[in-house]
Amino acid sequence: MEYDEKLALFRQTRLNPFDRNEDEDGPHGGKTPPHHESKPELFSGSRTHTSDRTMDLGLAEDHFSRPAGSFVASDIEQLKLAIEECKKLILELPEHSERQKDTVVKLIHLRLKLQELKDPEEDEPNLRILLEHRFSKEKSKSVKQTCDKCSTIIWGLIQTWYTCTGCYYRCHSKCMNLITKPCVRSKVSHQSEYELSICPEIGLDRQDYRCAECRTPISLRGVPSEARQCDYTGQYYCSTCHWNDTAIIPARVIHNWEFEPRKVCRSSLRYLALMMPRPVLRLKEINPLLFNFVEELVEIRKLRQDILLMKPYFITCKEAMEARLLLQLQDRQHFVENDDMYSLQDLIDISSGRLSCSLTEIHTTFAKHIKLDCERCQAKGFVCELCKEGDILFPFDSHTSVCHDCSAVFHRDCYYDNSTTCPRCARMTERKQDEDVLDVKEA
């Protein structure tokens, strides 16, 4: 091929001068001058004349496999040179052209290979323990996360990162030695209670104008760093410790029945998320007047009281144990233990109406088993001893009343209209007196 023809071909394809075949002759029929050999080859292969994508990017090469042997400094330097040349070529190629897109892909592969040489994954352990955090090395390469320590993006393809299995704290491997905050899970385990004051602010001056967590200098004017208040703790934090995340504040729910999310710091966000399903709120002690204003709370309390009355039937019923009826409440185990403890998630679901629907359905299933499906449970019903009329009564029926002393069940109207004491209590008292008299005579 003559020189003029090669020059025309070069102009047509806009090939980079150092994108060549090493065995190809130069313009004058000889080998390419040696001063071109110092530049790294970005692309390999031969040119074609039938397509615009004449540039072979070498994408068939496996850039992610780990070659045998160890790399020396020259390999890293060659990759850096190739990356720089590739960046220059991207700027020179036509905007949005296919060749430019292919070159960008090649640049990404080169950078991945460079990062792999600098930071081999085999040097990182799978589990690391630090400040009660149990960090597990993540294997996901496609999900983009943000480091909780440095607030920058974690690129899973080229960076090693860890997640705490307790509080889900995420960070780069390089940031782990800079962590100063203990695991929130330990605080939840040792101190399972909420701050029940609404935004207990102490003032930025009491914090010495420093972040409450990392002690970075902050100010309301944003110099040197913006002061951001956490609505849960009332304290001020820097932008690294406070990302303007929002969460529902327990104190505002209990005192004002307010569920609007407020801005909280990162540590409060994780703490509230871990505390969400824990039944640590005893509403009748914290704010008993809440039941006077929220009708849904009264309804839920009645359903929970009924379920507690049904529990003895299920514990002594073989069919109920085999059907595992009580496991329908396994996500709210405290519902079969007491009727006065609530979790923050319970209150959120009560406000939205979800809990009322699901608990009513479970209540109906339980009552159907006792009153209709199971003969053993039906045999444990009561007859009103005051009127001795009507159907079999159960303590969870809406029209019944239960004696607080002996747990006998009566019609509500009969129980409150009767001026005498409970017949069952009277029999038990009489029997007790007869036993005492018999004991005296035997003595």
CA distance linking residue 227 with residue 149, whole number of Å: 17
353, part of any domain: yes
Among 44-58, 159-173, 198-212, 241-255, the range scoring the smallest mean pLDDT is 44-58
46, part of any domain: no
* Structure tokens, 115: 């990062």
Q: In angstroms, how far apart are the furthest CA atoms of the chain?
A: 136
In tens, the pLDDT along 397-437 reads 888 888 888 888 888 888 776 666 788 888 888 888 888 77
The sign of the dihedral angle between the CA atoms of 410, 414, 419, 423 is: negative
* Structure tokens, 56: 């072979």
Nearest 5°: the CA angle 252, 255, 259 is: 35
Say which CATH number the domain at 173 has.
3.30.60.20
Q: Where is pLDDT greater, at 290 or 119? A: 290
Same structural domain for residues 344 and 376?
A: yes
Among 88-102, 133-147, 164-178, the range scoring the smallest mean pLDDT is 133-147
Domain tally, the chain: 5
75, part of any domain: no
What is the DSSP code string of 14-63? Answer: T--TT---TTSB-TTSSBPPGGGTTSPPS--S---SS-S------TTS-S
Share of residues in the chain with pLDDT > 70 (%): 79
What is the rounded average pLDDT of the residues 151-168? 84
In tens, the pLDDT along 223-281 reads 788 999 999 999 999 998 999 999 999 999 999 999 999 999 999 999 999 999 999 99
Q: How confident is the model at residue 32 (pLDDT cuts 50, 70, 90)?
A: very low
Share of residues in the chain with pLDDT > 90 (%): 33
The DSSP secondary-structure symbol of 78 reads H
Same structural domain for residues 346 and 401?
A: no
427, part of any domain: yes
The residue from 222, 252, 276 where one domain ends is 276
Q: Where is pLDDT greater, at 296 or 114? A: 296
- The answer to whether 321 touches 375, Cβ cutoff 8 Å, is no
Say which CATH number the domain at 232 has.
3.30.40.10
Same structural domain for residues 421 and 359?
A: no
Q: Where is pLDDT greater, at 363 or 132? A: 363
Instruction: Find the helix or strand (DSSP H, E) in which 146 lies.
Output: strand 145-146
Q: What is the dihedral of CA 44, 46, 50, 54, to 10 degrees?
A: 20
Same structural domain for residues 356 and 375?
A: yes
Query: 65 to each of 13, 62, 112, 141, how far by Cα in Å?
Result: 32, 6, 11, 15
The residue from 214, 247, 276 where one domain ends is 276
The domain containing residue 110 runs over which residues?
Answer: 83-117
pTM above 0.95, yes or no: no
Query: 165 to each of 152, 160, 377, 395, how far by Cα in Å?
Result: 21, 16, 45, 45
In tens, the pLDDT along 313-328 reads 999 899 888 888 888 9
CA distance linking residue 250 with residue 256, whole number of Å: 10
What is the rounded average pLDDT of the residues 374-383? 89
Q: What is the chain's mean pLDDT, rounded?
A: 79
Same structural domain for residues 336 and 373?
A: yes
Does residue 100 surpass a pLDDT of 90? no
Does residue 13 surpass a pLDDT of 60? no
By the 10 Å C-beta count (0-12 exposed, 13-18 middle, 19+ buried), 171 is classed as buried
52, part of any domain: no
CA distance linking residue 103 with residue 215, whole number of Å: 46
6, part of any domain: no
175, part of any domain: yes
Give the up-direction half-sphere exposure of residue 108: CA atoms within 13 A in the CB hemisphere: 9
Q: Where is pLDDT greater, at 82 or 113? A: 82
- The answer to whether 20 touches 32, Cβ cutoff 8 Å, is yes
The residue from 229, 249, 276 where one domain ends is 276
Same structural domain for residues 179 and 239?
A: no
Same structural domain for residues 206 and 257?
A: yes
Same structural domain for residues 169 and 109?
A: no
Among 70-79, 213-222, 281-290, the range scoring the smallest mean pLDDT is 70-79
Q: Where is pLDDT greater, at 48 or 83? A: 83
Same structural domain for residues 179 and 197?
A: no
Give the up-direction half-sphere exposure of residue 62: CA atoms within 13 A in the CB hemisphere: 4
419, part of any domain: yes
Q: Where is pLDDT greater, at 31 or 309? A: 309
Same structural domain for residues 272 and 243?
A: yes
- What is the side-by-side order of every strand in the sheet holding 133-137? 127-130, 133-137, 161-164, 170-172
Same structural domain for residues 178 and 209?
A: no
Give the best-scoring range by mean pLDDT among 11-15, 105-109, 175-179, 336-340: 336-340
Same structural domain for residues 233 and 316?
A: no
